[in-house]
Amino acid sequence: MTEQNPPAVSGASTAGTTRPSAGRSVLLFLRDVVVIVAAALVISFLIKTFLIRSFYIPSESMESTLMVNDRIIVNQLVPEVVPLERGDIVVFRDPGGWLPAMPETPQAPLEAAADWVLSLIGLSASDSDEHLVKRIIGLPGDRITCCNDLGQLSINGVPLDEPYVLLPPDTIDVSGQDFQEDVPEGTLWVMGDNRYDSSDSRFNGVVPIADVVGRAVVVSWPIDRWQWLDNYPLVFDGVEQAE
């Protein structure tokens, strides 16, 4: 029996096959770029909407923890997933009357479009001036009293030693005014770290928990200011037992 050789593959005809043209290759490349960018935008939008977002600091009320024009990253899983704690720095929507009316600043169309895109993915914070940032001092049910003979604020009868508070020289009183307030259910008592330059719950009342956007976790900009934001759990140690 004669063995038949299999057909050789070298030199096989390429008839019927065509190479993609250079123009088509460019179009395919551009299509892939558009898909990748669109996917990145969608993912960034979802992260900004449900997980984290950025805000900038427009005022001096949280100095020297947060400085003017610092940018902070806010965890938006608070308070729905992660519970709020005393000492947390939180961003919240204006409950009404905390912020003065701000005139709209006109933007060039290109600038407005760029700001909209960056805001969409959480890299810009065009609505920062519609929010406030303060530190939680009292939770629902707490009694906040100030000040004792040492100038300290107390929660449920427990005096606090607050290392984050910025005071004028030769001042020990952490508030500048005496008060006693009970924090209603569903609300928070918040104060700025710069106590003598902060319009907070002492002047505007409590903040509904429903208005909390999230908890500030890190200063992200400028680079030389990068730091995790502490909620100083030891400051509030012992308060729970006093409730």
Average pLDDT along the chain, 243 residues, taken 10 residues at a time: 47 50 71 67 55 86 95 86 93 89 61 57 56 96 96 96 95 94 97 96 96 94 93 92 57
pLDDT of 15 reads 47
pTM over 0.85: no
Could you tell me if 72 and 216 are in contact, meaning their C-beta atoms sit under 8 angstroms apart? yes
pLDDT of 110 reads 66
pLDDT of 185 reads 96
- Which tokens sit at 159? 């005096």
Catalytic residues: 61, 134
Q: Which letter does DSSP use for residue 144 in this model?
A: E
Q: What does 151-205 look like in DSSP terms, one character per residue?
A: S-EEETTEE---TT-B--TT---SSSS-EEEE--TTEEEEE-SBGGG---HHHH-
Domains in the chain: ranges and CATH: 22-101+108-242 (2.10.109.10)
Residue matched to tokens 């509030």: 236
pLDDT of 127 reads 52
Distance in angstroms (rounded) separating the CA atoms of residues 20 and 151: 79
